[in-house]
Amino acid sequence: MDGLIRGLVDVAIGGNQRRGGDDGGDDEGNSRDERSRSTWADVVSGEEEDQNRAGGSSHGRRQNLEENQWEKKGERIPIRHSNKEDQEENTYAAKVAEKQDFSESQQEDNDGWETVGKKKPARQSHKVQKEQWQDYKRPASEQHYSDEVETYGNLEPSQLELSGLSEACNKLWELDSNRLVPGNDYQIDCGDGKRVHERADMAEGLLFSWVSDEVFRKPTFARFCSLLDNYNPNEGYKEVVTEEERQEQAAFIEEISRTPVIKYLHKYLVLKDVAPGSYQEFKRMLTSLWFDLYGRGGTSGSSSAFEHVFVGEIKQSGGEQVSGFHNWLQFYLEEAKGTVDYQGYIFPRRRGEIPDSETQLLTIQFEWNGVLKSVSSTLVGVSPEFELALYTMCFFMGREENHIQLGPYNVNVKCYRLGNNRIGSAFPIAES
Exposed, middle or buried by CB within 10 Å (0-12, 13-18, 19+), for 86? buried
The answer to whether residue 326 is catalytic is: yes
Answer yes or no: are the C-beta atoms of 189 and 211 closer than 8 Å: no
Contacts (Cβ under 8 Å, ≥6 apart) of 280:
none
Q: Is the dihedral of CA 173, 177, 179, 182 positive or negative?
A: positive
The answer to whether residue 308 is catalytic is: yes
The type of residue at 137 is: K
The residue length of the chain stands at 432
Catalytic-role residue among 120, 283, 373, 414: 373
Catalytic-role residue among 171, 283, 326, 414: 326
Catalytic-role residue among 218, 308, 315, 414: 308
Cα separation of 395 and 419, whole Å? 12
CA 374 to chain centre: 10
Give buried/exposed letters for 292-320 (b at 16+ CB in 10 A, else e). ebbebbeeeebbbbbbbbbbbbbbeeeeb
Answer yes or no: are the C-beta atoms of 226 and 220 closer than 8 Å: no
Report the catalytic residues: 308, 326, 373
